[in-house]
């Protein structure tokens, strides 16, 4: 009897700990969700319990967001930047990763680690000189500044990921293609790339989510409202002094977060094995 | 397996041909990546070095050389000294809380239970969602009047409604707020790293230790920790770099205020270099990140190298 109670107590404590952790992690998102659909009178009311609706839920905030703000424009800006950055990343990182995986000797190792280390160089160290570079190139206040600069952090990481993947592709496959008369380039395109679809997909997702996460460069380079990506526009342009826009703000944050969160969760394991250098099998 | 071993070795003639070709193709393939990194990471870094010893501002782009004057100005400033201390406090506390919660989270999520998949997905959210959007949610939760945190504290009778805490408006509380938000963002990263580490510990080693009489703590610190140490080190390096150089969380929550009580190197450099247009001093402030980053890079290199051998 005592043992059963102890076991139940232990189980209860375990679930209590799990629930506490989940609530700590996820409460802000629940709060976003409920704020989005609360009527203003309900939001700015100190008396009633705020965790649930005290008056009927409303779509007012969402409607306002889509019709009276630049939210849709920002979403499209982010999508455009994301697509271009993904394309540049693939064009540069695919051959680089392959080359590093097949290069003989220790120099490839050194070069690979060297490229990976640039991922550690933070935007905070580079945003000042890069803002001058962007001005010199005439790209200030334009989405092109982000399209040019974002690959500086997607390329190192994706090259590293792809290098790890290409190492696991047996050399014999390309060698066979070369024996059959392919050039090195042809063998890469015709035999290695088709085998790499899962890795390429991972790179696409990661390059895209990394650009969606970025804030510092966007904040530094872009000041006109209609050119902002969604992460910047929501955080800087929807907050207007004393006027309460929390419903719209939370709705915008929620809508922009959901796709990134889903993508991240699906590819989390690959990201981790990338960052730990494939140490974890 | 047999098929591969049965393949005849390639003839030396074409193998030389292949090597000849790949000597050209190899560098050609990697050149764009190196070019990109050199042009847009390497050169800007050199530019930052030069800015920091120049008199460059956006109003007077003269690039005149002034030696170490900017650094002397900065070190002499009261705000900068406060900023440096804030950065250390912010980094160390967020890192400790993040790692601790990460380890606890991983130990919980390692168990088999109903809804584990959902629990993991929810726990990972703070790290997965774009930082600026997640921070905006906290901004609302810390609202001066309608803060849900304050509502809860008042309802529980922990604070007085007339004397509600101003999370982002009081010097001590503002620091706590930015640390909590950053730890909240960071701990899922710790969870997944520790999870990856725990699953890499061979089960038979643990079983053998248990049979030999090793208890929970002993298994934890003398067997599991040494095995997962390299992975934890990498998590620690990345986490510390992300925290030390953070600009977004602090900028969005407090902009470094009130009265510079949450000013960190990132936000201070942004304020001086971009908002005030004093690029030279801003660049000098940023460079204080560099020695620290160098240490991180060396540590990471050593742990990566050790693994290769």
> How far apart are alpha carbons A3 and A9 in whole angstroms?
10
Does the beta carbon of B200 lie under 8 angstroms from any beta carbon of chain A? yes
CB nearest B48 (choices: A26, A126, A264)? A126
Choose the mutation target among A10, A28, A110, A154 for the interface with B, i.e. most B CBs under 10 Å.
A28
Choose the mutation target among A95, A129, A178, A182 for the interface with B, i.e. most B CBs under 10 Å.
A129
* Chain A residues touching B293 at Cβ < 8 A: 120-122, 125
Confidence of residue B89 (pLDDT cuts 50, 70, 90): very high
Q: Do the beta carbons of residue A224 and residue A141 sit within 8 Å?
A: yes
Least confident stretch, A170-174, B179-183, B264-268: A170-174
CA distance B201 to chain A (A): 10
CA distance A249 to chain B (A): 8
Choose the mutation target among B137, B184, B193 for the interface with A, i.e. most A CBs under 10 Å.
B137
Is the model's pLDDT at B299 over the cut of 60?
yes
Give the pLDDT mean for A30-56: 83
Please write the tens of the pLDDT for every residue from B241-288. 888 888 889 999 988 878 888 899 999 999 998 888 888 899 999 888
CB nearest A272 (choices: B196, B269, B297)? B196
- B279 with A183: Cβ contact below 8 A: no
CA distance B125 to chain A (A): 6
Chain B residue with minimum CA distance to A44: B146
Chain B residue with minimum CA distance to A28: B137
Q: Residue B185 has what pLDDT?
A: 92
Question: Looking at the domain covering B69-308, what would its CATH class be?
Answer: mainly alpha
Does the beta carbon of B217 lie under 8 angstroms from any beta carbon of chain A? no
Compute CA distances A260 → A76, A244, A264, A265, B67, whole Å.
Answer: 15, 27, 6, 9, 46
- A279 with B230: Cβ contact below 8 A: yes
* DSSP code per residue over A199-235: HHHHHHHHHHHHHHH--HHHHHH--SGGG--HHHHHH
CB nearest A272 (choices: B37, B44, B192)? B192
Assessment of whether the complete model's pTM goes beyond 0.90: no
CB nearest B245 (choices: A124, A151, A183)? A124
User: Cis ω on the peptide bond leading into residue A165 (within 30° of 0)?
Assistant: no
- List of domains in chain A: 2-58 (no CATH), 69-275 (1.10.3720.10)
CA distance A126 to chain B (A): 6
Q: Residue B147 has what pLDDT?
A: 84
Chain B residue with minimum CA distance to A47: B151
Q: Residue B306 has what pLDDT?
A: 66
The DSSP secondary-structure symbol of A240 reads: B
CB nearest A50 (choices: B21, B151, B246)? B151
Strand partners, A243: A240
ipTM of the complex: 0.85
Give which of A70, A129, A91, A122 is closest to A248, Cα–Cα.
Answer: A70
> How far apart are alpha carbons A53 and A95 in whole angstroms?
54
- B200 with A43: Cβ contact below 8 A: no
- A129 with B283: Cβ contact below 8 A: yes
Is the model's pLDDT at A279 over the cut of 50?
no
Is the model's pLDDT at A281 over the cut of 70?
no
- B18 with A15: Cβ contact below 8 A: no
Is the model's pLDDT at B301 over the cut of 90?
no
Q: Residue A274 has what pLDDT?
A: 64
Does the beta carbon of B94 lie under 8 angstroms from any beta carbon of chain A? no
CB nearest A265 (choices: B44, B128, B274)? B128
Dig out the tokens for B306 from the structure: 């050790």
Give which of A185, A192, A168, A162 is closest to A97, Cα–Cα.
Answer: A162
Q: Do the beta carbons of residue A83 and residue A201 sit within 8 Å?
A: no
Taking every pair of Cα atoms in chain B, the longest distance, rounded to a whole number of angstroms, is 88
Please write the tens of the pLDDT for every residue from B222-237. 888 888 887 788 778 8
Chain A residue with minimum CA distance to B61: A132
CA distance A2 to chain B (A): 22
Confidence of residue A93 (pLDDT cuts 50, 70, 90): very high
Polymer length in residues for chain A = 281
- B33 with A265: Cβ contact below 8 A: no
Give the pLDDT mean for B14-33: 67
- B307 with A279: Cβ contact below 8 A: yes
Is the model's pLDDT at A229 over the cut of 90?
yes
Three-state DSSP at B185 gives helix
Is the model's pLDDT at B174 over the cut of 60?
yes
Q: Which residue has the higher pLDDT, A39 or B309?
A: A39
- A31 with B148: Cβ contact below 8 A: yes
Dig out the tokens for A256 from the structure: 């922009």
Q: Is A254 exposed, middle or buried (0-12, 13-18, 19+ CB in 10 A)?
A: buried
CB nearest A261 (choices: B113, B125, B270)? B125
Please write the tens of the pLDDT for every residue from A59-82. 888 888 888 888 899 999 999 999
Confidence of residue B15 (pLDDT cuts 50, 70, 90): very low
- B25 with A21: Cβ contact below 8 A: no
> How far apart are alpha carbons B5 and A49 in whole angstroms?
71
* Chain B residues touching A279 at Cβ < 8 A: 200, 230-231, 307
């Amino acid at each position: 009897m005592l043992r059963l109670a102890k076991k139940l107590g232990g189980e209860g404590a375990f679930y209590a700990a799990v629930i506490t952790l989940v609530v700590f992690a996820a409460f802000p998102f629940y709060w976003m969700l409920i704020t989005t659909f609360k009527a203003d009178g309900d939001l700015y009311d100190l008396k009633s319990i705020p965790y649930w609706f005290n008056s009927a839920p409303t779509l007012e905030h969402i409607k306002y967001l889509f019709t009276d703000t630049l939210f849709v424009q920002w979403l499209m800006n982010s999508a455009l930047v994301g697509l271009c950055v993904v394309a540049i990343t693939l064009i540069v990182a695919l051959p680089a990763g392959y080359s590093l995986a097949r290069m003989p000797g220790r120099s490839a190792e050194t070069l690979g680690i060297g490229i990976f280390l640039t991922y550690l160089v933070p935007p905070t160290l580079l945003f000042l000189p890069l803002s001058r570079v962007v001005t010199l190139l005439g790209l200030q206040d334009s989405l092109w500044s982000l399209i040019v600069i974002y690959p500086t952090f997607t390329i190192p990481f994706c090259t590293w990921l792809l290098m790890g993947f290409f190492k696991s592709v047996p050399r014999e496959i390309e060698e066979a293609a070369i024996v059959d008369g392919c050039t090195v380039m042809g063998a890469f395109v015709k035999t290695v790339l088709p085998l790499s679809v899962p890795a390429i997909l991972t790179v696409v997702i990661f390059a895209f989510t990394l650009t969606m996460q970025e804030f510092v460069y966007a904040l530094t380079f872009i000041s006109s409202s209609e050119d902002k990506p969604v992460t910047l526009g929501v955080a800087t342009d929807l907050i207007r002094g004393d006027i309460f826009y929390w419903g719209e703000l939370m709705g915008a944050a929620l809508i922009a977060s959901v796709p990134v969160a889903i993508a991240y969760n699906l590819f989390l394991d690959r990201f981790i094995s990338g960052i730990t250098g494939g140490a974890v099998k | 397996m047999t098929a591969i071993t049965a393949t005849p070795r390639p003839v030396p003639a074409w193998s030389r041909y292949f090597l000849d070709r790949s000597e050209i193709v190899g560098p050609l393939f990697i050149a764009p990546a190196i070019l990109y990194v050199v042009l847009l990471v390497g050169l800007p870094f050199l530019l930052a070095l030069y800015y920091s010893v120049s008199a460059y501002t956006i109003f007077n782009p003269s690039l005149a050389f002034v030696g170490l004057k900017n650094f002397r100005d900065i070190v002499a400033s009261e705000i900068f000294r406060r900023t440096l201390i804030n950065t250390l406090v912010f980094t160390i506390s967020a890192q400790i809380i993040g790692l601790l919660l990460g380890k606890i989270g991983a130990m919980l999520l390692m168990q088999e239970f109903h809804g584990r998949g959902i629990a993991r997905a929810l726990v990972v959210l703070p790290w997965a969602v774009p930082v600026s959007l997640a921070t905006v949610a906290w901004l609302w939760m810390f609202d001066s009047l309608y803060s849900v945190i304050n509502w809860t504290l008042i309802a529980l009778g922990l604070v007085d409604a007339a004397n509600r805490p101003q999370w982002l408006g009081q010097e001590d509380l503002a620091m706590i707020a930015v640390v909590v938000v950053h730890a909240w963002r960071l701990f899922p990263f710790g969870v997944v790293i520790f999870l990856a580490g725990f699953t890499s510990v061979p089960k038979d080693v643990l079983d053998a230790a248990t049979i030999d009489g090793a208890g929970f703590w002993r298994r934890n610190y003398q067997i599991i920790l040494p095995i997962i140490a390299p992975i934890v080190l990498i998590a620690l390096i990345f986490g510390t770099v992300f925290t030390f150089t953070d600009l977004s969380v602090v900028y969005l929550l407090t902009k470094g205020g009130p009265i510079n009580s949450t000013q960190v190197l990132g936000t201070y450099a942004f304020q001086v270099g971009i908002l005030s247009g004093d690029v030279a001093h801003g660049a000098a402030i940023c460079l204080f990140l560099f020695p620290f980053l160098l240490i991180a890079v060396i540590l990471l290199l050593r742990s990566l190298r050790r693994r290769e051998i």
